[in-house]
């Protein structure tokens, strides 16, 4: 599995945003986490709906830290 470096955490397991699915837990810098509720894919981007009503858009190949 690939890894990514997060601030205040260090090396963390990661996968491309295109491989995210509902139920995955994304880890952000400094240890905060978000649960993925839905994923919508576009031509080159992935829009991820997170718990709490937030949404983030990533390039499909971007590495995202997961638990």
Structural domains of the chain ordered from first start = 2-65 (2.30.30.30)
DSSP state letters, 1-62: -EEEEETTTEEEEEEEGGG--TT-EEE-GGG-EEEEEEEEE-SSEEEEEETTTEEEEEETT-
pLDDT computed for residue 54 by the predictor: 96
| The model's pTM | 0.91
Please give the Cα distance from 34 to 66 (Å, whole number).
9
Q: What is the pLDDT along the chain (67 residues), one digit of tens a residue?
A: 899 999 999 999 999 999 999 999 999 999 999 999 999 999 999 999 999 999 999 999 999 999 9
pLDDT computed for residue 1 by the predictor: 81
């Amino acid at each position: 599995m690939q890894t990514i470096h997060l601030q205040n955490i260090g090396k963390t397991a990661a996968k491309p945003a295109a491989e995210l699915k509902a139920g995955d837990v994304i880890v952000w810098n400094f240890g905060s986490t978000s649960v993925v509720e839905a994923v919508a894919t576009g031509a080159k981007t992935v829009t991820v709906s997170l718990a709490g009503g937030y949404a983030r858009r990533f390039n499909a190949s971007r590495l995202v830290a997961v638990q």
